[in-house]
Amino acid sequence: MKRILVVDDDATLRMALTRYLEKRGYLVQGVASGVEALTTFEQDPPDLVVSDVMMPQMDGFEFCRRLRATRSGQLIPFIFLSSRGEVEDRIQGHTIGADDYLIKPFEPRELLAKIEAQLERTRRIHSEIVRLMQKAAEATSPLPTDTSAPAPGPLPFTPAEEKVFWEVIQGYTNKQIGDRLFVSPRTVQTHLSNILSKLQLENRSQLVRFAFEHGYTPPTEQPSNSD
């Protein structure tokens, strides 16, 4: 389940956004300032950030600037959601490092579309990185006559869990996996939790690393059958 950090000092809006996004399969954490957001991000980085600009203690621009200065925050998708809609404000937001800028009042469906577009873009980048890493590994691997490197062993999963495993390591969200396998995002999350438990891993990133290190290469195309 993809995690979204919502940063806004308006508690009502923050709660409304949290409920809206959670109903659409996301795990949401809300904080009221850039200071809280930085602390939260350091403790457990989300998959995407939605942030207001005008906030106490530290505004959104400064938060974005500091986030982009950290290694873990350089590539995280970042969307500004602000009542500051002047051209100069939007330009400043993009210059600092935001991936998108939405003006209040806004249509929730538009924000959702922007979130999904950014996550899909991240997935494609992730898949390309995995492909390049696999290509580099193949270029330096022993010749076919050298059998010193064993083939990956069987996975300790049920058939349904194995389908989810291959989808997850390609970077798909729970919603995307559900659409591809014709199951609900909740079912996908249940299978993912079982997978992580069996492998004694904590999150998706560790699962992707496990797959790469143990030679589990994603198939070209996965079948889309129901459980």
pLDDT in tens, 176-195: 888 889 888 889 889 998 99
Percentage of residues in the chain with pLDDT exceeding 70? 88
Can you say whether residue 188 is alpha, beta or left, with left for phi > 0 and alpha for psi between -120 and 50 degrees?
alpha
**Residues contacting 109, CB < 8 A, separation 6+:** none
Average pLDDT, the chain: 85
**Confidence class for position 61, pLDDT limits 50, 70, 90:** very high
**pLDDT at 37 exceeding the cut of 90:** yes
The answer, yes or no, to whether residue 26 has pLDDT greater than 90, is yes
Span 120-134, average pLDDT: 78
pLDDT of residue 222: 45
| Residue 191 Cα distances to 23, 134, 147, 187, angstroms | 19, 26, 34, 6
pLDDT of residue 138: 67
Give the C-alpha separation, 211 to 198, whole Å: 14
Q: What is the pTM (predicted TM-score) of this model?
A: 0.64
The domains located in the chain, with CATH, are 3-117 (3.40.50.2300), 142-213 (1.10.10.10)
Residue 7 pLDDT level (bands cut at 50, 70, 90) = very high
Q: Are 181 and 188 in contact (CB under 8 A)?
A: yes
Whole-angstrom distance, CA of residue 135 vs CA of residue 205 = 20
Q: Given this model, what pLDDT does residue 1 score?
A: 77
Of 41-45, 76-80, 217-221, the range with the lowest mean pLDDT is: 217-221
**pLDDT over 90 percentage in the chain:** 46
Q: What is the pLDDT of residues 83-104, one digit of tens each?
A: 988 899 999 999 999 999 999 9
Side chain identity at 124, as an amino acid letter?
R
Write out pLDDT tens, residues 135-174.
Answer: 776 666 555 544 444 556 788 899 899 899 988 888 888 8
Statement: residue 62 has pLDDT above 80: yes
**pLDDT digits 0-9 by tens, 109-125:** 999 999 999 999 888 88
At 226 the pLDDT is 45
What is residue 205's predicted lDDT score, i.e. its pLDDT?
76
